[in-house]
Amino acid sequence: MIAVDTNLLVYAHRQDSEWHEEALAVLLELAQGGTRWAIPWPCAHEFVAIVTHLRIYTPPTPVTLACKAIASWAESPSLTFIGESEGYWDRFTALASKVKLQGGAAHDGRVAAICLHHGVKELWSADRDFSRFATLKVRNPLTAD
């Protein structure tokens, strides 16, 4: 299963993003394909927080449209939303201890632990910060490998 990070969701949604076309193509390929893919719940929430934030986007996306974007991706039959469940906290604790997480990096640790907990094979992200989690394979689908 492939998981998608917040930044790809934002880029695909915001037409004013430098990476809009590429990210939209990636998400459409996943949504219309047969490969199982996932959006971690924290990434869905972070997506809403980012695209509706006045200091990040002018004009920001209205919250109703941001929620509709998540709902439209949810229509993909191959999509699963993943989150914390029994055993997650042990995974997070081990991961956080191993890489000595601090401060804001705890959010990335949360996403990484959720992905590992659910057997995600690869997290697609444009965020290089996930490279600190050696047990999680991360790929940026917007750049040539």
* Euclidean distance between CA atoms 85 and 116, whole angstroms: 12
Q: Which helix (H) or strand (E) holds 20?
A: helix 20-32
Could you tell me the pTM of the whole model? Answer: 0.94
Residue 97 belongs to a domain: yes
CB distance 113 to 95 below 8 Å: yes
Residue 19 belongs to a domain: yes
The pLDDT score that the predictor gives to residue 145 is: 60
pLDDT, mean of each 10-residue run, the chain (145 residues): 98 97 96 95 98 96 98 96 96 95 94 97 94 94 81
Residue 74 structural domain = 2-139
Residue 85 belongs to a domain: yes
Residue 81 belongs to a domain: yes
- Those residues whose C-beta lies under 8 Å from the C-beta of residue 43, and which sit 6 or more positions away, are 4, 5, 6, 9, 111
**Tell me, what CATH number does 81's domain have?**
3.40.50.1010
Residue 145 belongs to a domain: no
The pLDDT score that the predictor gives to residue 97 is: 95
What's the structural domain count of the chain?
1
Residue 93 belongs to a domain: yes
Residue 144 belongs to a domain: no
* Euclidean distance between CA atoms 121 and 3, whole angstroms: 8
